[in-house]
Amino acid sequence: MPQIELINVEKRFAAGGRSVLALSGVNLAVEQSSFVSLCGPSGCGKSTLLHMVLGLQAATEGEVRVEGQKVVSPSNRIGTVFQDASLLPWRSVLSNILYPIELRKLPVRQFRDRAMELLDVTGLSKFADHYPAQLSGGMRQRVAICRALIGDPDILLMDEPFSALDALTRDEISVELQDIWSKRRKTVLFVTHSIREAVFLSDRVVVMGLAPGRLVEEFDIDIGRPRTFAVETHPRFNDLIHNIRESISKGRIPAPAETVE
């Protein structure tokens, strides 16, 4: 049984009195412990898809299942990292990481060691008592990753988590994420605009297209792990990037079926 499953999912929004088809005919299965990226142009419904898996939005048609059960509301088996770190400015780093524990009304004290351990993994142990305003963008996003992992979720959803970071920080944090993933084996669903990032990190890259938002093509990334930046010289790596880019171009052409956008 796949850990995340979307079956014939369709999503419509009401906008200005009209119904807009945001996603149509989406079928996707993400196996346990795999790293899957969604890649596509702006407006293809990547984030909408993620929100449906999270339980923040409901599908208009079809069904979204996590661990075989229909998603109706946010679940604590899922940890999420958003585009901006979304840290509470009035809380210290440690307190931000423990925020989900507090929301779940679990004993916060018992999770302190775990939070410190996660900070250690991301190299931020010294900053436990700092406030978000005192951190760089990369550090803030690392804190957000720690926060997503604090409840030891089975699934990690990441919505363009590195897009606000500079290119060098982005590379650095990608390698760290791969490290964390290979040690903890979470199922990761990763939304990104960066083809290179998607190929570097994923087991599978799903290309999405526009008008309406839909899945266009899937690519298995058959490159061994652990990956270092040396893979960039790998001909297979560059072939994949090229093929995915072509596929994204194809996805920009509206689908022949009914389109209301």
Partner 1 sequence: MSGLKVGAFDTVVGAPLWRSFILSPLWPATVFAALLLAWEFYVRVSGVLPVILPAPSDVAAYMWEQRVQLLENAWPTLYQCLLGFALAVVVGVLIAVLLTQSTVIRRGFYPLVVGIALIPKVSVAPLFTLWFGTGAVSRVSLVFFVSFFPMVVSPASGLMSVDPSLLKMARAFGATQRQIFWTLRVPTALPYIVDGMKVAMSLAVIGIIVAEFVTSDQGLGYLIVFATGLLNTVMMLAAIVTLSIIGLVLYFAIEFLGKAIVYWER
Q: How far is the CB of 251 from partner 1 (least distance, A)?
A: 26
Residue 255 carries which DSSP code?
A: P
Binding site for partner 1 (CB under 8 A): 54, 56, 73-76, 78, 80, 82-84, 86, 88-90, 99-100, 102-104, 131, 133
Tell me how far, at minimum, the Cβ of 135 lies from partner 1, in Å.
12
Nearer to partner 1, 86 or 169 (CB): 86
In one letter, which amino acid is 176?
E
Which lies closer to partner 1 via its Cβ, residue 106 or residue 255? 106
Strand partners, 39: 192, 207
Residues pairing with 15 in the sheet: 18
SS (H, E, C) 54-121: HCCCCCCEEEEEECCEECCCCCCCEEEECCCCCCCCCCCHHHHHCHHHHHCCCCHHHHHHHHHHHHHH
Measured from the CB of residue 173, what is the shortest distance to partner 1 in angstroms? 18
Distance CA 42, CA 181 (A): 27
> Looking at beta carbons only, is 98 or 195 nearer to partner 1?
98
Q: Which is nearer to partner 1, 99 or 223 (CB)?
A: 99
| Least distance to partner 1, CB of residue 67, Å | 16
79 neighbors 157 (Cβ within 8 angstroms): yes
CB of 143 to partner 1, least distance (A): 12
For partner 1, the closer of residues 98 and 241 by Cβ is 98
